[in-house]
Amino acid sequence: MEDLEKSRGGRPRAFDPEAALDAAMLLFWEHGYEATSLAMLREAMGLTPPQIYNAFTDKETLFRRALARYHDREISFALDALGAPVRTREAIRLLLLGAAQAYTRPGKPGGCLFISGALATSPQAQGVADALKAYRKATEAGIAARLAKGFAAGELPAGVTVEGFAKYLAGVMNGMSIQARDGASTEELEALAETALAVWPSEMQGSAILKDEADAGPFCRD
C-alpha cells in the first residue's frame, strides 16, 4: 500500500528502494537498530544521506520498514506453520524447525531480527524497543491462538494452559535465536527443537486416532 508507482512527475529515482531496504534490513539484523549508523547504512545501501531520508523519512521509519519486510520475507514460515492443515503438535513442530532453518540461513545474520534488533536501548529508542516487543508478543499470540484450537480438541499435554504453553514455546524460539547468534548450527537448533517437543507425547489422548495425519480431524485453518 505504498509503492504503487504513482509517478506524479519529477526526477525519477536513481536506485531501487526495495534493494536498498534489503541492504538496510541485513545491516539492522546484524548490528541492531542503535548500533547501525547512517554511515554504515549509506555504504551498504549505496546511497547518499538525502537519498535515504527522502525515501524513508528517517532512521526509525527505515527500521520499521525493514521490520515489516523481514516479517514478510524472512519468517513467513511461521504463519505457514501455524496455518498448516496438520495436527497441533505437528504445526508447532513445523514452527520450531522452521525457526531452526530461518535463524541459520547461510549469508544471513544468525538469529531473529525481532530479538537482535534491540533488547535494551537508550531512552530515545524506546519506541523501537516497543515495536520489536510487539512483534515478539504477536508471535506468542499466534502460537497461543493455534494452541487454543488444539486445546479444544484435547491435543495439548496434560497440566498446561494455553497461555503458559505458548509462553514456553515462544521462549524456546527466543532461546534458539540467541543460540543461533552464539554460533549454533541448523542441526543443533533442530535437535533443540525436537528436545523441546519431547514435553509433548506424540500419541495424545485416549482417542487413538493416529493414522492419516494429513487427513481430516481436529485441525485448524484460520
Partner DNA sequence: GATCTTCCATAGTGATCGATACGAAATCTG
Partner DNA sequence: CAGATTTCGTATCGATCACTATGGAAGATC
Site of interaction with DNA (CB under 7 A): 7-15, 34, 36-40, 47-51, 53-55, 58-60, 122
Position of cell 494452559? 161
Among 122, 202, 205, 207, binds a copy of itself (CB under 8 A): 122
Smallest CA-to-CA distance from 194 within 99, 75, 81, 108 is with: 99
Dihedral of alpha carbons 119, 23, 141, 110, sign? negative
CB atoms within 10 A of CB 101: 12
Q: CB of residue 206 vs a copy of itself: minimum separation in angstroms?
A: 20
Half-sphere exposure of 198 (CA within 13 A, CB side): 7
Q: CB of residue 130 vs DNA: minimum separation in angstroms?
A: 17
Residue 61, phi then psi, degrees to nearest 5: -65, -40
C-alpha to C-alpha distance for 48 and 57, rounded to whole angstroms: 13
Positions 155 through 174 that interact with a copy of itself (CB under 8 A): 157, 159-160, 164-165, 167-168, 170-174
> Between 48 and 205, whose beta carbon lies closer to DNA?
48
Q: CB of residue 154 vs a copy of itself: minimum separation in angstroms?
A: 17
Pair 138, 100: CB distance under 8 Å: no
Any residues with CB less than 8 A from the CB of 136 and at least 6 apart, and which? 114, 115, 170, 174
> Between 174 and 219, whose beta carbon lies closer to a copy of itself?
174
> Between 46 and 201, whose beta carbon lies closer to DNA?
46
C-alpha to C-alpha distance for 54 and 43, rounded to whole angstroms: 16
C-alpha to C-alpha distance for 78 and 179, rounded to whole angstroms: 19
With binding defined as CB under 8 A, does residue 49 bind a copy of itself? no
Among 26, 91, 162, 184, binds a copy of itself (CB under 8 A): 184
> Between 20 and 169, whose beta carbon lies closer to a copy of itself?
169
C-alpha to C-alpha distance for 149 and 220, rounded to whole angstroms: 7
Among 19, 152, 191, 214, binds a copy of itself (CB under 8 A): 191
Of 26-34, 79-87, 141-149, 211-219: span binding a copy of itself (CB under 8 A) = 26-34
Q: Which residues bind a copy of itself (CB under 8 A)?
A: 29-32, 34-37, 109, 111, 115-117, 119-123, 125, 133, 136-137, 157, 159-160, 164-165, 167-168, 170-176, 178-179, 181-182, 184, 188, 191-192, 195-196, 198-199
